[in-house]
Structure 1
Amino acid sequence: MKKRIAIISIIMLVLMLAACNSSNNNSTDDEIPKMLEVNLQVQEKADVNAEVPFTATVTQGDEKVKDADKVEFEVWEEGKKDDSEMIEAINKKDGTYEAKKTFDHDGVFTVQVHVTARGLHTMPKTSVTVGEGATEEHAHDNHEDGDHDDHGNHEHGHHSEDFSMHFMEPDSIEKGKETEFVVHLQDHNEPLEHARVRYEIWNDEISDKHEWVDASETKPGEYAGSHDFSESGVYKFKIHVQNDEGLHEHEEYEVVVK
Structure 2
Amino acid sequence: MLNPRKLTALLSLIIAATLSGCSGGNGEMNHMHAESNMSMEPIKVEMSWSPLQVAAGQKVVFEALVTQDGQPVDDAKEVLFEIVSNNNSESKLEFTGESAGNGIYKAEGTMEAEGEFTVTSHVTARTQHSMPSKKLVVQP
TM-score (norm 2): 0.67
| RMSD of aligned Cα (Å) | 2.0
C-alpha separation between the residues in 2 aligned to 1:108 and 1:99?
20
Is residue 33 of structure 1 aligned with residue 40 of structure 2? yes
Distance 1:105 1:31 in 2: 42
Q: 1:121 aligns with which of 115, 129, 134?
A: 129
What is the rounded CA distance, in whole Å, between the counterparts of 1:106 and 1:79 in structure 2? 11
Aligned equivalent of 2:30? none
2-side partners of 1:57 and 1:70: how far apart?
Answer: 13
Q: Describe the superposition over 1:158-184 as per-residue Cα deviations: whole angstroms up to 9, x where unpaired.
A: xxxxxxxxxxxxxxxxxxxxxxxxxxx
- Letter matched to residue 46 of structure 2: N
Could you report, residue by residue, the CA deviation over 1:118-153 in whole angstroms, capped at 9, with x for unpaired residues?
000001011211114xxxxxxxxxxxxxxxxxxxxx
Q: 2: distance between equivalents of 1:60 and 1:32?
A: 8
Where 2:80 maps in the other structure, the secondary structure is: strand
User: 1:61 deviation in Å?
Assistant: 0.7
Report the Cα offset of residue 58 of structure 1.
0.2
Asked whether the 8 Å contact 1:38–1:124 carries over to 2, the reply is yes
Q: Which runs of 5+ in 1 are unaligned?
A: 1-26, 133-258
Partner of 2:72 in structure 1? 64
Q: What is the CA-CA distance between 1:35 and the residue it aligns to?
A: 0.4
Across the two proteins, how many residue pairs are aligned to each other?
104
Letter in 2 for 1:115: V
SS in 1 for 2:90: helix
Q: 1:49 to 1:67 in 2, by over 3 A?
A: same
**1:47 Cα deviation from its structure 2 partner:** 1.3
Cα deviation code 1:106-128 (max 9, x no counterpart): 21111110000000000101121
Please, which of 78, 88, 91 is the counterpart of residue 96 of structure 2? 88
Amino-acid identity (%): 29
Q: Secondary structure at the match of 1:82?
A: coil
Aligned to 1:111: 119
Deviation at 1:62, TM superposition (A): 1.8
Instruction: Tell me the amino acid that sits aligned with residue 41 of structure 1.
Output: S
Q: Which has the higher contact order (CA 8 A, sep 6+)?
A: 2
How far is 1:31 from its partner?
A: 6.7
| Equivalent in the alignment of 1:49 | 57
Deviation at 1:81, TM superposition (A): 2.6
Consecutive unaligned residues in structure 2, runs of 5 or more:
1-33
CA contact (8 A) 1:67 1:93 kept: no
TM-score, normalised relative to structure 1:
0.37
Q: What corresponds to 2:28 in structure 1?
A: none
Distance 2:80 2:112 in 1: 21
